[in-house]
């Protein structure tokens, strides 16, 4: 893929939160390593309700994310649902408006609410990389809309790959 391709990363932190014992730099480097396969990163955002992350470890982790070039976007729920999802959806589409295809959007999430936006972006020839947990509850409707699916637990958290009990 050409090096001049633009890449945006949108991370649903509430949906794919790393253990606070992990190093933020290592997590960001893992995500960046995957994103650079597709071009240069112009946007790297993570979304969460900061009021739900009050611990000292959480503050240090978020500070390390910011030091690594990640924009931490506060999404106060204030009694509402899906605040993070809606903000990510708008930001993904704004990126698409501002950057013609070919461009790549990396979405770190496991929520089916993103499937339609992913499908729409792919129809317009954007590459959509989904980084999602390997849990069995990740909807096929989400995974099937991605150009590439990457296992969050294995590729980013470096956990050993678990085999499906039904596979040989």
Q: Encode pLDDT of 32-42 as tens digits.
A: 999 999 999 99
* Mean pLDDT score, 1-21: 87
pLDDT recorded at residue 167: 38
Give the pLDDT score at 161: 67
Please report the pLDDT score of residue 1 as a whole number. 46
Is the pTM value of this prediction over 0.85? yes
pLDDT tens, 77-94?
988 889 999 999 999 999
Q: Are 142 and 118 in contact (CB under 8 A)?
A: yes
Give the C-alpha separation, 107 to 113, whole Å: 12
């Amino acid at each position: 893929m050409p090096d001049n391709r633009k890449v945006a990363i949108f991370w649903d932190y509430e949906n794919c939160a790393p253990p606070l014992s992990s190093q933020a730099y290592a997590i960001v480097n893992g995500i960046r390593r995957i994103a650079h396969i597709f071009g240069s990163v112009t946007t790297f955002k993570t979304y969460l309700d900061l009021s739900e992350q009050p611990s000292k470890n959480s503050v240090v982790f978020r500070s390390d994310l910011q030091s690594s070039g990640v924009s931490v976007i506060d999404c106060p729920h204030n009694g509402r649902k899906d605040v993070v999802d809606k903000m990510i959806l708008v930001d993904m589409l704004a990126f698409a408006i501002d950057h013609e295809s070919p461009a790549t959007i990396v979405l770190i999430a496991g929520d089916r609410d993103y499937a339609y936006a992913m499908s729409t972006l792919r129809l317009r020839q954007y590459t959509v990389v989904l980084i999602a947990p390997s849990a069995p509850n990740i909807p096929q409707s989400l995974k099937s809309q991605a150009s590439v699916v990457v296992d969050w637990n294995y590729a980013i958290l470096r956990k050993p790959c678990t085999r499906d009990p039904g596979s040989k």
